[in-house]
Amino acid sequence: MQAPGDDASAERVRPALAQTAARLLPAVAAGDRAAFAELFDRFGGLFAASIATVQADAAARDRICAEAFTAVWRRAREGARAPEPVLWLLEVLCETLGSSREAGRRPLGDGVLAMACPDRELLLLAVAGHYSQPEIAALTGVRESRLRSILRDALGSLRGGLGGSALTA
């Protein structure tokens, strides 16, 4: 007999932020503006902090944030089907950042944006979102051991691009 929670097919318990994203994205996909406003309220700070990691110019950051949320609105049907809604939101943000050709990028900006998905999204959760590794694992479904490896490799890649400067997540 199995103990409760030992069932491999049982769904993991998601943190409130991930539950909120999973709840709001289908409503946004249906055109619910109030749900979109709530999504903006819940994720606007994380988006702004993530953008600030890459972009130094405040006016450009505001414009990029608006563009990213416009992309979320347009692609919400895709997000409603995403298995990891927080990662999907950050992927849309990173795609928007990558397509932006703004002057004033921070030295790390190009290195972060050159990373593969989900490495860059996980790094942004750690650096810009100030989430701990257990929190990131819970938000994204990435095992902590895998997450540690991804973050270590991502930081090593960024260090190499900066000539060995000290970076930590």
- Give tens-digit pLDDT for 103-148: 566 666 777 878 888 888 899 898 888 899 999 999 998 999 999 9
Quick check: is 64 in a domain? yes
Domain assignment present for residue 6? The answer is no
pTM: 0.74
Tally of domains within the chain = 1
Residue 3 forms part of a structural domain: no
Domain assignment of residue 100, given as a range: 16-161
CATH code at position 45: 1.20.140
The answer as to whether 10 is a domain residue is no
Classify residue 75: in a domain, yes or no. Answer: yes
CB 138 within 8 A of CB 15: yes
